[in-house]
Structure 1
Amino acid sequence: MIKLEGALYPWRFRVVLALLALLVGAIACQIVYLQVIDHDFLKGQGDARSLRHIQIPAHRGLITDRNGEPLAVSTPVTTLWANAKEMQVAKDRWPALAHALGQDPKVLTARLEQQANKEFIYLVRGLTPEQGQSVLDLKVPGVYGIEEFRRFYPAGEVTAHMVGFTDIDDKGREGVELAYDEWLAGVPGKRQVIKDRRGRLIKDVQVTKNAKAGKTLALSIDLRLQYLANRELRNALVENGAKAGSLVIMDVKTGEILAMVNQPTYNPNNRRNLQPAMMRNRAMIDVFEPGSTVKPISMSAALETGRWKPTDKVEVYPGTLQLGKYTIRDVSRTEGPVLDLTGILINSSNVGMSKVAFDIGGEAIFRQMAKMGLGQDTGLGFPGERVGNLPNYREWRKAETATLSYGYGVSVTAIQLVHAFSALANNGKLAPLTLLKSDKPAQATQVMPEQVAKTVQGMLQEVIENPRGVWRAKVPAYHVGGKSGTARKTSSGGVKGYAVNSYRSLFAGFGPMSDPRYAIVVVIDEPSKAGYFGGLVSAPVFSKVMSGTLRLMNVTPDNLPTAAEQQAAATAAAAKGGRG
């Protein structure tokens, strides 16, 4: 007779049954616990496998000019991406997809097959919403869309160097877009959705965090003046066969940059054929020796010492001055063997300026230039901005003193030069520079006595209006002041000294003289056609831009002809017509 094992060992059987009962009880307790008491655990596990958070892109802040004209705006675009694994089941749809995307079917097929195991690849970015929807309407398995924003620049190349641009991820990469990226960027939001195990969207649940748009940024520039400056600078480069150029317009009372243009430039809306040289904001990055444009600053240092007056005479004959092996020369013939201080500026005499500098010392000129911002940080915080170099010596020898006084041995940027001239125009007060629209009065610093500044203003007016002056810089119906300059360019490629037949033509000035408000600096790099002197190349650009600026800003003329002059002109015209 066969006996059951359990009957032989009843206690073992009972132990097994007890263990099974305990196991079932434990499972039952755990089920009750998870379903009734701690039900959030299962919910969390389920959500972890199906609930996802999708980023909601933030609308980047608007950039405008001082009058509210848009300079950079964000427009909605559609980015198409694909789950390459899912797409493998519908290879017959790939040619139609390639056609809709405007891509080569063979190239797209090779790409999808090469990345067949990837669950996320970009197909194309930055389509218009209409273009993106037309592709999505094909309902190709594994193709999805994302809403993003793309930056558009209405003024294009005219404001490119100042505004800059963003990259494909809408991050600032140049100019103001980079300098104020945190201000403009905003904060992305989050949207909660349910997806299946293949990553397909099942349900849009809720917005868990709203996107916070970036803040608006109002720049100091006036788009009207920006267009004016860009047009005249571009024309000047063509007329003179020049390599490059910069032009800056500044409000001397507020420190605001009203226009800043460079040539060559580029279109930030289409950067496919962009050359690195086109991206350089030369007004802030290129440093150069300012030449004779700093003579008014050196002259102000002399006047401030009290040792010199505008009528004091200096012997400049024979137009050269020997300092050891170094010879100082006057480029043009002066009107006589002796010049007063105004005559030194009118004739741009290096010899005369050097003799004045020897009397007051190089340290006095250095201090004046430093106070007026040459070779100093402007405080603008613009990406890549250069500081330049203002040398200081423990012992000022005659050669260093002379060259500094007429603008050699020192390197500045166009923005620094216009800032320095703004102090001369603003009665000796230097307002801090700003690229943003200012609603508060500028906290200007007195960097020279008011009377000295006014004296130099009169001297610079003579530089333009004197018969031997820079008449090409005259502005019809307005009195203006300024100084031209011509500087040889240093050699590149590790070669010391100056390049042969390579010059920068400069002009710096301000107006109207009745109440100076606007300062302008023009820099033309390597003119090659009609000449290279600043009074010949850059002065006409200053005249046109200053004339347009004063009229656009509704500044009352301060140099209209008198009734007698008008009558005389009418009589002369009538007589000429009668002879004809």
Structure 2
Amino acid sequence: MSTPQGDMPSRAQTAPLGSGRYRFMVFLVLVALTALVGRIVDLHVIDRLFLQGQGDARTLRVETIDAHRGMITGRHGDPLAISTPVVSLWANPQELPEDGVQRMLLAKALDMSPEKLDERIERYADREFMYLRRRMTPDDAQPVLALKVPGVYEQHEYKRYYPSGEVAAQLVGVTNVDDRGQEGIELAYNGFLAGQPGKRRVIKDRKGRLVRDLHLIKEAKPGGNLTLAVDLRLQYMAYRELKAVVDEHDADGGTLVMMDARSGEVLAMTNLPSYNPNNRAEIDTNGLRNQAVTDTFEPGSVMKPLAMSAALETAQFTPQRVIDTAPGYMRLDNYTIRDFRNYEELSLAGILLHSSNVGMSRVALQLPEDAIWNRYHDLGLGQAPGTGFPGEATGSLPTPFGWSDSKRASMSYGYGIAVSAMQLASAYTAIANDGKRLPPALLKQPDPPEGQQVMSPQVANDLLQMLEAIVQPGAGGSRAAVPGYRVAGKTGTVRKVTRSGYQQSAYRSLFAGIAPVSDPRIVTVVMVDNPKKGDYYGGLVAAPVFSRVVGKALRLLDVLPDKQEAME
């Protein structure tokens, strides 16, 4: 059966419609291809550099390579400050899970309460970085990393450790949490110790995880090592003995400085109160200062030998020259200067032996107005010691113009001026070193310095003999004696002065000495601040510390005994 012709469309009727659709589809494909090609050209040619930069910014990173901080050691290589590898944990708060169980486990591993962790995360919620714990040992950090909590990462750093603890704390100093020097030698030589950080280019994913280490841009340069002059054996011993006397007399604190009489190197320098630099959370700010360098005080009678040296340089004074000190006091400018008792006539050696203020005043008034000031200045007083230690004190040495008689007199027995313990020890090196003063040195010296000739060798030798008599049995400094060795030294007891004036019941006890007399090797200054229990005189409080510390030091340094009865 055939279909009626009117029911079927003809080829002529369908061809135009099919051809139009085809052309339309081809047009759409061509437009799409053109757009695609244009986009490809745009991405690969026009926007290529921009897009590549954006991609690199999200994947390429330049990381800092921490430089290993240099080591600080004592003169014999004993470590005083070293850097050890540690791990700091940080997190991206926006990646941390909301799951309470995971957060509780993380808080437990970090040794903090879940509430504290949640509070910290909330505080940094709009940031991409926060520290969880800094400077953990690798062993302590491992349990946290083992949890594999999303958003928790590690950062390798260095932590400063101080093996000697509080014994050398004020001298060595301390670094902050970023390993930058904050006090002491750590601060003074921070640039040398810190070194120079390096840089490397790496690829990281969007979560900050390392994908590939590309190449080194700049190699890290480790910090330099420093060797201090301090002998750690003597430092421990000095700290122990100073702490014992401070505790025994319930004193506010104390200072001890031991210098090499041949080189000026500081073999021991200790202060109380002190602090433990390994426990920054409990650092007592009162113990931060290196008082031996930064604090000054009126030295009192320990200055008498130095003032006496100015008189001995003149032709009119010899150690045997007699001065009348009767009746044991004198009036100058409405001030009364007193001795412990009326010593009547005393030689210059006797004035030092009995520590006569009247005798020293009468000697001083016979000298030119600026004679004692010039001697003190030549000995380094009133000037920075030049060690480079942060905050080193210059002290106080008033200019010698228009001085009254009472001012000239008081300076001769150590009042009206201020010195640091290190300045005082440096001044005494002139007596121990044939008249040459040696500047103090905190770093080990390759060669001993020449020193400055501030008094004649004869005067220095005369003073040594005069000071040796003060340490003989029955004399004021007898408790500074060291069995087997000849010792020279001077005691001092001075009232503490505050803004309101001299205190009636607060003192500083001092002893400055040299040993052995036959060939001086050590100069030591001891100061005990405000002993409140028992005695307070320098000969009774500070002198015994000198005896114990110097006696052990001489044996440790293998110095042969020079006392006659010890060699027979």
- Would the TM-score normalized by the shorter structure come out above 0.5? yes
Deviations 1:382-415 (A, max 9, x none): 1122111001232232101100000000001101
* Structure 2 unaligned residues grouped into runs of 5+: 1-30
Residues 248 and 369 (structure 1), Cα distance of their counterparts in 2 relative to 1, 3 Å cut? same
Aligned match for 1:396, one of 394, 403, 428: 403
Q: Which amino acid aligns with 1:368?
A: R
Equivalent residue, structure 2, for 1:14: none
* Structure 1 unaligned residues grouped into runs of 5+: 1-18, 567-580
Q: What does 1:13-28 align with in structure 2 at a 5 Å threshold?
A: none
Q: Which amino acid aligns with 2:80?
A: L
Deviations 1:141-177 (A, max 9, x none): 0000000000000010101010011010000001000
Equivalent residue, structure 2, for 1:16: none
SS in 2 for 1:84: coil
Deviations 1:214-255 (A, max 9, x none): 111000000000011001101111222211100000012111
Aligned length: 539
Equivalent residue, structure 1, for 2:522: 518
Aligned match for 2:438, one of 431, 434, 437: 431
Alignment pair present for 1:352 and 2:359: yes
Q: CA deviation at 1:467?
A: 3.8
Equivalent residue, structure 2, for 1:405: 412
The CA RMSD over aligned residues, in Å, is 2.2
In 2, Cα distance between equivalents of 1:138 and 1:204: 25
SS in 1 for 2:366: helix
Q: What does 1:57-456 align with in structure 2 at a 5 Å threshold?
A: 57-330=66-339, 332-333=340-341, 336-456=343-463
In 1, Cα distance between equivalents of 2:255 and 2:488: 20
SS in 2 for 1:532: coil
In 1, Cα distance between equivalents of 2:63 and 2:108: 29
Aligned match for 1:484, one of 485, 491, 497: 491
SS in 1 for 2:139: helix
In 1, Cα distance between equivalents of 2:76 and 2:557: 12
Deviations 1:59-97 (A, max 9, x none): 110000000000001011100000000114545410000
Q: Which amino acid aligns with 2:431?
A: L
SS in 2 for 1:486: strand
SS in 2 for 1:306: coil
- Mapped contact 1:479–1:558 kept (Cα < 8 A): yes
Equivalent residue, structure 1, for 2:550: 546
Residues 60 and 532 (structure 1), Cα distance of their counterparts in 2 relative to 1, 3 Å cut? same
Q: Which amino acid aligns with 1:457?
A: L
In 2, Cα distance between equivalents of 1:39 and 1:562: 92
In 2, Cα distance between equivalents of 1:465 and 1:314: 22
- Mapped contact 1:80–1:124 kept (Cα < 8 A): yes
- Mapped contact 2:428–2:437 kept (Cα < 8 A): no
Equivalent residue, structure 2, for 1:11: none
In 1, Cα distance between equivalents of 2:123 and 2:260: 59
- Mapped contact 1:432–1:443 kept (Cα < 8 A): no
SS in 2 for 1:76: strand
- Mapped contact 1:363–1:396 kept (Cα < 8 A): no
Equivalent residue, structure 1, for 2:472: 465
In 1, Cα distance between equivalents of 2:474 and 2:137: 61
In 2, Cα distance between equivalents of 1:470 and 1:433: 25
Equivalent residue, structure 2, for 1:556: 560
- Mapped contact 1:90–1:140 kept (Cα < 8 A): no
In 1, Cα distance between equivalents of 2:112 and 2:357: 65
- Mapped contact 1:78–1:129 kept (Cα < 8 A): yes
In 2, Cα distance between equivalents of 1:136 and 1:24: 47
Q: CA deviation at 1:28?
A: 6.7
Residues 208 and 420 (structure 1), Cα distance of their counterparts in 2 relative to 1, 3 Å cut? same
Q: CA deviation at 1:466?
A: 6.1
Deviations 1:91-149 (A, max 9, x none): 54100000000000111112213322210000010110112122111110000000000
Structure number with greater Rg is: 2
Alignment pair present for 1:534 and 2:538: yes
Q: CA deviation at 1:26?
A: 7.2
User: TM-score when scaled to structure 1?
Assistant: 0.89
Residues 79 and 25 (structure 1), Cα distance of their counterparts in 2 relative to 1, 3 Å cut? closer
Aligned match for 1:509, one of 510, 513, 528: 513
Residues 481 and 64 (structure 1), Cα distance of their counterparts in 2 relative to 1, 3 Å cut? same
- Mapped contact 2:469–2:475 kept (Cα < 8 A): no
In 1, Cα distance between equivalents of 2:443 and 2:251: 31
In 2, Cα distance between equivalents of 1:522 and 1:562: 26
In 1, Cα distance between equivalents of 2:492 and 2:528: 11
Deviations 1:252-305 (A, max 9, x none): 211110000001111111132222112121111221100000000110000112
In 2, Cα distance between equivalents of 1:485 and 1:268: 33
Q: CA deviation at 1:29?
A: 5.9
In 2, Cα distance between equivalents of 1:198 and 1:222: 51
Residues 28 and 135 (structure 1), Cα distance of their counterparts in 2 relative to 1, 3 Å cut? closer
Q: Which amino acid aligns with 1:558?
A: D
Deviations 1:426-461 (A, max 9, x none): 111112221101111213111111111111111111
SS in 1 for 2:133: strand
The share of aligned pairs that are identical, in percent, is: 49
Q: Which amino acid aligns with 1:113?
A: E
Residues 467 and 115 (structure 1), Cα distance of their counterparts in 2 relative to 1, 3 Å cut? closer
Q: CA deviation at 1:41?
A: 6.7
User: TM-score when scaled to structure 2?
Assistant: 0.91
Residues 312 and 88 (structure 1), Cα distance of their counterparts in 2 relative to 1, 3 Å cut? same
Q: Which amino acid aligns with 1:379?
A: G
Q: CA deviation at 1:469?
A: 4.1
Q: Which amino acid aligns with 2:397?
A: L
Q: Which amino acid aligns with 1:356?
A: V
Q: CA deviation at 1:464?
A: 1.3
Q: CA deviation at 1:353?
A: 0.4
In 2, Cα distance between equivalents of 1:488 and 1:512: 30
Residues 272 and 41 (structure 1), Cα distance of their counterparts in 2 relative to 1, 3 Å cut? closer
